[in-house]
Each structure stands twice: as structure tokens, then as C-alpha cells.
């Protein structure tokens, strides 16, 4: 079982305009989507849709927290959250003809008692794989991530900011940086697949068995104990990039849960990401079809 922890979840509000955004103009649209968001929540949704037993956890509070709880129930995603008095945040993505705009709240304040309860919740679930993803809310120290990873005999996947990755002390199964996070973590340029592999190898030495780096339109690289693999992104019509990296990691983790080798798990991750970016919002509907997709994904060994 995979337990995902989203310390700072959000309602993802996605709205689309068929025009460029300009100042001093009231833009109106009927195209709006509200979904349960946050890296760990996305991973729980996607892995569940891929047929893997998963539960979402983290902190929830207020009306937005209830909306997330209800949306997860609607998608048959198991949940075991820690309730807090403050409101869960709202993150808005605006899709317009002149670009994509992201407006995110910082999130509610978390105190030491909340962290203690989250650790107890993780221990009670006793997962095979613990996934910790996203930003930390105000008041939650970075040491809490190591504490969650070390609280039991499980493997831990981590997806946080680039510089944060090098400040962790526990041993982790996998981390999932994007291009900029990989560059921030290593201080290396990451403009080509080759440079990404060099940087991922360096980051792996910080205590990660695997480094899975998402490279946007250039696909992904996976560096692990058996070497480095790369895979190009699939050619699809991109509607929304929110959740793309989470989908890549979800496919890989689901593949490993299904006893796939590294190459096949990476293929499943790329197919999952391609499906998610082809729809607006972070809905996992019809994601199960990815398991039966025969779309070829070329995985290249870089050693």
C-alpha cells in the first residue's frame, strides 16, 4: 500500500479564457474546474486509478478541506487526514491564449502537535511506500520530513523543492525533481538530457536510491543502482501541465508495485504523464486505460 502525505494540500482551481489577459479588464468565463490538489493527493488519485492500493493523508481544514475530502471520496480514493482548525488553501491556475498563470496561497499554520498527530497517522497506516510531496506549510520544520521517513520500516518517496532535497538526512527510495529543482539541488546546468543525468547522479549521492527527473517536453531520466535510463515525452496535445510530474512519479511507483522492472515502470510513468497533461485539471478519470496502452515509449540506457 502507498500512503501519500501532502503537508500543504490545496483546492486546485483551473479557469480558462479564449483570449489574452490584460489589466483593467474584467475577463469572464464559464470554464472552471475545482479538484483536490497537492502533490501527494495527486499521487494518491493517480496510483488508485492505476489499480494500486493508495491512501491520501496530510492536513485538512475548513470549507476547502471538506471539499478535498468530498472530491477524494467521489473518486474512490481512500483518505486519512489530520484535521486542523485553519483553512486549507486555494491554488488557481489561469489558462489564457497568452500563457499559463499560477496563483498559490501559502497555506495554514501548522504547530508541533499537528506534526505529532501526522506521524501517528502514518505509523497507524504502516504503508509499504510513503510518499511525501509538495511545499511545507508555515510552522512545519524540514526535520519533520526526515521524522516521517524514519518513523517506520517503509520506503519513502520525496518530491519537494530542489534545495530542500540536499538538506534531508534520512535515506530515501526516490526523489522526483523537475529541471529547475535538479539544477537548484546540484548547482549544475540542466539543459540537456546528458546534463540532467550528470546532475541526477550527483543528487543520488545525497541519500536517494533513485532519482527520477521530469524534463517537460524532453521527457524524463531515471538514475538508479543499475545505471541511467532516459525516455522522451509522448507527442500529445497539452491542455494543462498541472500534475504532470506527479503523474510521472505515480506511474513509476505503480509500476514498481506491479513488480515491473525500471524501464517498464518508467514507460508507465511517461504514459501516465501524457494522459494527465492532455486534460484540464488533475482528474484521474479514464487513467486506468493507460495500463492497457500499447503506445510505444522508447527507453534508452545511458550507460
Cβ atoms of residues 18 and 248 within 8 Å: no
Residue 104 exposure: Cα atoms within 13 Å on the Cβ side: 12
Three-class DSSP category at 131? strand
Sign of the Cα pseudo-torsion (5, 170, 108, 244, in order): negative
Q: Given 128, 246, 264, 303, which residue is catalytic?
A: 246
Whether 24 contacts 149, CB under 8 Å: no
Cell 499560477 appears where? 102
| Helices 244-257 and 262-277, packing angle to 10 deg | 140
**What distance in Å separates the CA atoms of residue 99 and residue 17, rounded to the nearest whole number?**
10
Q: Is 240 annotated in the active site? A: no
Residue 35 — φ and ψ, nearest 5°? -135, 160
Please state, in angstroms and rounded to a whole number, the distance separating the CA atoms of residues 55 and 265: 20
Which among 37, 39, 44, 100 has a CA at the least distance from the CA of 65?
37
What's the order of all strands across the beta sheet hosting 32-37?
Answer: 32-37, 10-16, 89-96, 99-104
What does the alpha-carbon distance between residue 70 and residue 48 come to, in Å, rounded to a whole number? Answer: 16
Residues that are catalytic: 246
Amino acid at each position: 500500500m502507498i500512503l501519500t502525505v501532502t503537508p500543504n494540500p490545496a483546492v486546485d482551481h483551473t479557469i480558462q479564457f479564449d483570449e489574452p489577459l490584460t489589466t483593467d479588464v474584467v475577463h469572464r468565463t464559464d470554464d472552471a474546474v475545482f479538484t483536490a490538489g497537492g502533490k501527494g493527493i495527486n499521487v494518491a488519485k493517480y496510483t488508485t486509478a492505476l489499480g494500486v492500493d493508495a491512501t491520501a493523508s496530510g492536513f485538512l481544514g475548513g470549507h476547502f478541506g471538506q471539499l478535498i475530502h468530498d472530491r477524494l471520496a467521489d473518486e474512490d480514493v481512500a483518505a486519512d487526514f489530520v484535521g486542523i482548525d485553519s483553512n486549507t488553501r486555494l491554488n488557481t491556475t489561469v489558462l489564457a491564449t497568452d500563457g499559463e498563470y499560477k496563483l498559490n496561497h501559502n497555506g495554514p499554520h501548522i504547530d508541533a502537535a499537528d506534526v505529532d498527530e501526522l506521524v501517528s497517522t502514518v505509523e497507524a497506516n504502516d504503508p509499504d511506500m510513503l510518499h511525501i510531496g509538495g511545499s511545507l506549510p508555515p510552522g512545519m520544520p524540514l526535520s519533520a520530513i526526515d521524522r516521517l521517513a524514519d518513523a517506520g520500516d517503509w520506503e519513502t518517496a520525496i518530491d519537494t523543492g530542489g534545495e530542500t532535497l540536499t538538506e534531508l538526512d534520512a535515506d530515501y527510495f526516490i526523489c522526483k525533481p523537475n529541471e529547475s529543482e535538479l539544477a537548484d539541488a546540484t548547482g549544475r546546468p540542466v539543459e540537456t538530457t546528458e546534463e540532467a543525468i550528470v546532475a541526477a547522479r550527483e543528487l543520488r549521492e545525497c541519500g536517494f536510491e533513485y532519482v527520477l527527473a521530469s524534463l517537460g517536453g524532453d521527457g524524463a531520466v531515471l538514475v538508479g543502482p543499475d545505471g541511467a535510463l532516459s525516455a522522451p515525452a509522448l507527442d500529445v496535445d497539452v491542455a494543462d501541465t498541472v500534475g504532470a510530474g506527479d503523474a510521472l512519479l505515480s506511474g513509476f511507483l505503480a509500476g514498481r508495485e506491479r513488480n515491473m522492472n525500471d524501464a517498464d515502470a518508467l514507460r508507465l510513468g511517461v504514459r501516465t504523464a501524457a494522459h494527465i497533461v492532455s486534460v484540464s485539471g488533475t482528474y484521474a478519470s479514464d487513467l486506468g486505460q493507460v495500463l492497457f496502452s500499447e503506445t510505444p515509449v522508447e527507453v534508452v540506457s545511458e550507460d
